[in-house]
Amino acid sequence: MRIFWILIIGLLGVVAAQNAFTGNDQGGKSMKENTAKLEKAIFAGGCFWCMEKPFEQLEGVSSVISGYTGGKTRNPDYGNYAAGGHIEAVEIHFDPAKISYQQLLDVYWRQVDPTDAGGQFVDRGHAYTTAIFYLNEEQQRLAEESKQTLEKKGLFGKPLVTPIIPAAEFFAAEEYHQDYYRNNPVRYKYYRWGSGRDKFLDKIWGVKH
């Protein structure tokens, strides 16, 4: 379905360059920061284009990489990742001295429909499902507690089905997918609007989610 929206945008005459992901200084986080103190978090929330911006804007987040994970094939690409059982995800590099994993979880839940086991919004199928991939026991504990707390609030009116599972190898997506919201702002906004994501999130969390 995402390809459908890209075609629609093309018919509207929207033209945007496919810039390489360079960790530039135009509002993004530099990939050249000292990584010795950084930790990682891996979240899946449907279209990875829509998962980069909310995290890249956070103080303490060094970079957010779109990619594929959870499948059985090696070196997946955009043409075959779904067939290999992978799903779209983002790998977040963050400084735990500035932002906690718990805070990242709070942001994550506000980006997705955790009750949908069949995809996210207009994008359907396993490749677009949600998941929290933990990298250690502490992340697992925090993720499970966070999910339980959210479920008790009953905001969604349905059970939360987002799985919390061990991290698998993460494969970075092609360069044209990285920082898509910044490199292709018009296409990105049309896609978000057309996907139904923002309308759903506004209804659950309010306009300033």
Catalytic residues: 47
DSSP-based three-state secondary structure for 69: strand
CA distance 6 to 54: 22
Please say whether the beta carbons of 95 and 57 come within 8 A. no
CA distance 102 to 109: 11
CA distance 162 to 130: 5
CA distance 168 to 132: 11
The set of residues, in sequence order, having a beta carbon less than 8 Å from that of 28 and lying 6+ positions away, is: 56, 63, 179, 182
| Structure tokens that stand for 10 in this block | 């093309």
- How many CB atoms neighbour CB 161 within 10 A? 13
